[in-house]
Amino acid sequence: MYTLPNKLKLFAIVFMVIGALGMVAGFVNAPGSQEEVKEMLAHHDDHGATADSETAQHDDEHVEHVYHQLQNRPWSAVYVAAFFFFMIALGALAFYAIQHVSQAGWSPVLFRVMEGITGYLVPGSIIMFLLLVLSAMHVNHIFHWMNAELFDPASEKYDALVANKSAWLNETSFLIRAAIYLLGWNAYRYLSRKYSLKQDEEGGMHWFKKNFKLSAGFLVFFIVTESMMSWDWIMGFDPHWFSTLFGWYVFSGMIVSAITVIAMVAVYLKSQGYLEHLNNSHIHDLAKFMFGFSIFWTYLWFSQFMLIWYANIPEEVTYFVSRIEDYNLLFFGMLVLNFVFPLLLLMNSDFKRVNWLVIGTGIVILVGHYIDVFVMVMPATVGESWFIGIPEISALLFFFGLFIYVVFSTLAKAPLLAKGSPFIEESKHFHY
């Protein structure tokens, strides 16, 4: 039975406290008026400002635009970090369901690790829904389409393209859909965990079969709702733009991040004397999935980018123009982190068995996919006013601490071996 070490608990709490203080500082330091923005731009101008800053000093519309961007920055930083850790838990839940449906024989020794990571789904869901509700209540303005003037033909800000999507882009249906997604995902997580523990207590095949059927139904629900969620929660930041494979693109980043965390948590527990039946073949298979889904993510990135760029249709290519112009280093840098590093480090079969190499590659992959989420969100909410500073780092620290605390607390609530699984003996002796 795993026990949460006091040092690890303190580590998580310290990160949460530091992160929370930094997030508060980020909100406090956001400009409170357009006059502050004018003074800031004038100050920059005195020290060699860019041409844009010099123009902004005399352009009230541009000052207002920069003001809204800087107001959005702390909210966007929180949103990016909240979604990033939430998607890890959700991806782990999907991977867990796939193991049940495929009746995989290699993975049952990792079931409790997966269940521990999905434990973050509950607090992560609450935080995500709260952020969406605050957006719908206009406490923040990170979702541009929530401006009512865009739908009013009498307004100077009327946007015909956005108005034509009003049946989907409206606050009420937006929140209802979010509630359906979150309730469905959490219901599966609760029932699947319950059935898994019942399987350990009673043995037999009854609970295994129930979990199999439940997981099969969940995967159908998941693949539909995950795509819809990606349209609402990510693509919704750019309401003029759409991509037919965007749901798959978000899913690929989600699943590779989740598998990476599963591998890292498993290696950590093994190093602490737990998971006695975990061997190098299990780590090899996890690393193989890390490698495979990294290639899958790259395939989708290339397909989405190159076809849109080559077609050069204005309403489609504008999405990439803003990212290449204002986020050039991050946009192409994440391609190196998410493709080149996994390709070079995990292609060799022997390397997949080296724990420290898997951990190192995993850190690179997670950094790369955080940047991926950052680049999906920030250009539409913060634009060229972005910067990785106190708000972004603090939000990352807070949610990292919360994630560690919840995941390892969940791991301590049940034995780390799913002994009731009919495939547990095969998993114990798994050899690749």
**Per-residue model confidence as pLDDT tens digits over 158-167:** 989 899 999 9
- Give the pLDDT band of residue 52 (cuts 50, 70, 90): very low
pLDDT at 388 over 50: yes
Given a cut of 60, whether residue 270 has pLDDT beyond it is yes
Q: What's the confidence (pLDDT) of residue 31?
A: 84
Q: Which of 47-51, 90-94, 200-204, 304-308 has the lowest mean pLDDT?
A: 47-51
Largest CA distance in the chain: 76
Identify the pLDDT of residue 251: 97
pLDDT of 45 strictly over 70: no
* pLDDT score recorded for residue 211: 94
Does 193 score more than 50 pLDDT? yes
Percentage with pLDDT > 70 across the chain: 96
Q: Give yes or no for residue 15 having a pLDDT over 60.
A: yes
Provide the pLDDT for residue 380. Answer: 92
Q: What's the token pair of residue 61?
A: 């519309």
Name residues whose C-beta falls within 8 Å of residue 15's C-beta, 6 or more positions apart in sequence.
Answer: 397, 398, 400, 401, 404
Residue 51 — pLDDT band, cuts 50, 70, 90? very low
Percentage of residues in the chain with pLDDT exceeding 90? Answer: 75
pLDDT reported for residue 355: 92
pTM of the model: 0.93
Residue 58 clears pLDDT 60, i.e. is over it? no
Per-residue pLDDT at 157: 87
What pLDDT is recorded for position 393? Answer: 96
**Quick one: pLDDT at residue 204?**
81
For residues 59-67, give the mean pLDDT: 74
Positive or negative: CA dihedral 333, 337, 341, 343: negative
- Amino acid at site 66: V
- Which of 170, 165, 168 has its CA nearest to residue 147? 170
Contact 251, 228 (CB under 8 A): no
Q: Which residue, 412, 432, 421, is CA-closest to 3? A: 412
Encoded tokens for 81: 């970090």
Tell me the C-alpha distance between 57 and 45, whole Å: 8
Amino acid 56: pLDDT? 41
> 109 Cβ partners below 8 Å, 6+ apart?
275, 277, 278, 282, 417, 418, 424, 427, 428, 430
Answer whether residue 80 shows pLDDT above 90: yes
299-319: pLDDT as tens digits: 999 999 998 888 888 878 889
Burial class of 103 by CB neighbour count within 10 A (0 to 12, 13 to 18, 19+) = exposed
User: Per-residue DSSP letters for 184-246?
Assistant: HHHHHHHHHHHHHHHHHHH-SSHHHHHHHHHHHHHHHHHHHHHHHHHHHHTGGGSTT---TTH
Average pLDDT, the chain: 91
Distance CA 185, CA 210 (A): 17
Above 70 in pLDDT, residue 50?
no
Q: 78-92, 361-375, 383-397: lowest mean pLDDT where?
A: 383-397
| pLDDT attached to residue 49 | 44
Question: 3-class DSSP state for residue 428?
Answer: helix
Residue with the bigger pLDDT between 33 and 136: it is 136
